[in-house]
Copies of this chain bind each other. A is one copy, B any other.
Amino acid sequence: MPDSRNAPDGALWSSPLAGACLDRLFLQARTTRAWQERPVAPALLHELYRLMGMGPTSANCQPARIVFVQSAAGKAELLPLLDAGNREQTRLAPVTAVLACDLHFHERLDFLYPHQPQARGWFTGSPASTRDAALRNASLQHGYFIIAARALGLDCGPMGGFDADAVTRRYFPGGRAEVSFLCNLGYAAAAPLRGRLPRLPFDEACAMA
């Protein structure tokens, strides 16, 4: 960022955030399975969407779609579609986000990328390339979602382990979108049971050229 966009505390934008922020977003954050009873206000879910929605996507295409399941009736419909081992943590979480990608996202490019009317054609070469773009860009946004939730003080419990076809049919009928994963949201009630799992070393995942 240019120097004119200094942070309010006088630090340059171009220096790292304080260690406590990096801890919360990445280094100390852990997947959560035990939840406090403390609820998550709907306004916080709107703020979460506002933050994560600002992250970049190819031609600003924004294919991520989210259903926030929080009512008792909504939870009762969702729980039977989960693997047994995921039901109790999901029942107790204040909110469960169903995270999906819209396979028809390109229909909105006239609004999202108005200065390049040809952008729709970049994504519609074949159904497979359209789906790839939906999955790639929605998953980027799902990554923003998890970090944005943490930035707002929420803990996240991302999960596979559900009947993906049934969840897609329930929340996105008609084949318009495809569910990728679920993410419980709320406030952790207890530290994780296990230590952090291993990470690949830099030299295995990265190279310099």
Contacts and interface: CB of A to CB of B under 8 A. Distances in A.
Assembly of this chain: how many copies? 2
A166 interface: no
A74 B148 CA distance: 34
Interface in A22-68: 22-29, 31, 38, 42, 45-47, 49-56, 58-60, 62, 64-68
A74 to B, nearest CB: 4
Contact of A199 (B29, B54, B197, B208): B54
A82 interface: no
Given A132-B135, A139-B143, A190-B2, A152 B16 contact: yes
Given A31-B56, A54-B29, A144-B143, A66 B13 contact: no
Interface in A159-187: 160, 171, 180-181, 187
Interface of A: 1-2, 4-5, 7-9, 12-17, 19-29, 31, 38, 42, 45-47, 49-56, 58-60, 62, 64-71, 74, 77-78, 98, 108, 111-115, 122, 132, 135-144, 146-148, 151-156, 158, 160, 171, 180-181, 187-191, 194, 196-200, 202, 205-209
8 contacts: A1-B24, A1-B155, A7-B24, A14-B153, A27-B54, A66-B206, A70-B209, A140-B143
Given A55-B146, A65-B206, A137-B139, 17 more contacts: A7-B20, A8-B19, A12-B153, A14-B153, A17-B24, A26-B55, A26-B148, A26-B151, A45-B208, A50-B202, A67-B206, A68-B208, A70-B209, A112-B200, A140-B146, A143-B144, A147-B147
